[in-house]
Amino acid sequence: AWLSMAGAGDKGLPNGRPVDEWGIRMEEGSCNPAGSSVTRGGAANGPAAVYAIRKWDEWLRKYAPPGAADYDFYQSLPALSQGNVAQQIFWYTAFVPDMVKPRSEGNNTVDENGNLLWRMAPSPHGPYWEEGMKIGYQDAGSWTILKSTPMDRAKAAWLYAQFVTSKTVDVRKSHVGLTFIRDSTVRDKSFTERAPKLGGLVEFYRSPDRVMWTPTGINVPDYPKLAQLWWQNIGNVNSGAATPQEAMDRLAAEMDEVMARMERADKAAGTYGGCGPRLNEERDAEYWLSQPGAPKAKLANEKPQGITVNYDELVQRWQEK
């Protein structure tokens, strides 16, 4: 998500092609990832990705509340509602329930009458971002039933999924958790009535802009194997053990190494049904950086003049689209 906000990948929704926000390259019309290093046509260690991690580390050190670097996901939830954060750059809708609780329950981000002291707005984007790119991450109610699941259990899971995602259940569930998966729920009359108390959440999900926040895409051949590499390397930046460039170089190399093993397994035994990685041969980085799209060459100015958008005008634009 952070790399997509910076603009590390290519244009395209739900994910950039040929290079996605993970920095993994997969050509249009192919199902074979071709690499994440710039030398293979990827962008995981390109200038935009390095900018993204450098900016994350800089903002974390300069502006986050004391101790924030050590928070995990669940610790960050109560930290927000304590009122110690002036601006949250990236958040999940799972954070919202704590942010709309009454003041009597320890929520310092509402006034005595329960009126919000905050508003929700689209994520900012960095200098490498272009119109037509995604700008963040969200999950939206995906269900996966494995082929290996015994048929009786698969049928039971399918039936339960129908119940959980049904209109009546989803409206109720969404009022409690405020995590939407159905358009019909977003447009339900009950949310029209509740919208003023949700800080822009309903207006955003009723707008066409919501499609710019998308899940991980098909360029990523094995999420568990590759995802674990990220925080190991990003954590080295936070601890001071590595610079952003060093961390992303190592991350890209490790992802390519894992994908090389996957490629061998797919060629030998069809482990990935023929859609495993087929890594590009390495070339000089300048070759790829001089091509259109990602990986993108380093900008001469990575800090252009920022633009502040009037919030009321923004919401009005959502409603007019």
Residue 25's domain is classified under what CATH number?
3.40.190
- Phi then psi dihedrals of residue 185, to 5 deg: -70, -45
Q: Are residues 246 and 194 in the same domain?
A: no
Question: Does some domain include residue 158?
Answer: yes
- Of 166, 181, 216, which residue constitutes the final position of a domain? 216
281-317 burial, b at 16+ Cβ within 10 Å, e below that, comes to eeeebeebbeeebbbbeeeeebeeeeeeeeeeebbee
Is the same domain home to 232 and 282?
Answer: yes
Q: Is the residue at 295 inside a domain?
A: no
- Paired residues of 136 in beta bridges: 213
Q: Is there a domain that residue 308 lies in?
A: no
Measured distance CA(218)–CA(107) in Å, rounded: 39
In order of 197, 236, 291, the CA distances from 202 in angstroms are 10, 38, 40
Backbone conformation region of residue 62, classed left if phi is above 0, alpha if psi is from -120 to 50, else beta: alpha
- Overall pTM > 0.85: yes
Q: Which of 166, 188, 216 is the last residue of a domain?
A: 216
Decide if 118 is inside a domain.
Answer: no
Q: Judge whether 103 lies within some domain.
A: no
- Single out the residue in 172, 201, 216 at which a domain terminates: 216
Structure token digits, residue 82: 């304590």
In a domain, 275, yes or no: yes
Q: Provide the number of structural domains found in the chain.
A: 2
- Range of 158's domain? 151-216
CA 178 – CA 191 distance, rounded (Å): 10
Q: Which of 1, 87, 86 is nearest to 52 (CA)?
A: 1
Please report whether residue 16 resides in a domain: yes
pLDDT tens sequence for the chain (321 residues) = 889 999 999 999 999 999 999 999 999 999 999 999 999 999 999 999 999 999 999 998 898 888 888 887 777 777 788 888 888 877 788 889 989 999 999 999 999 999 999 988 878 899 999 999 999 888 776 788 988 999 999 999 999 999 999 999 999 999 999 999 999 999 999 999 999 999 999 998 998 888 899 999 999 999 999 999 998 899 899 889 999 999 999 999 999 999 999 999 999 999 999 999 999 999 999 999 999 999 999 999 999 998 888 888 877 777 755
Q: Which residue has the tokens 């098909």?
A: 218
Q: Do 8 and 73 fall within a single domain? A: yes
Shared-domain flag, residues 10 and 63: yes
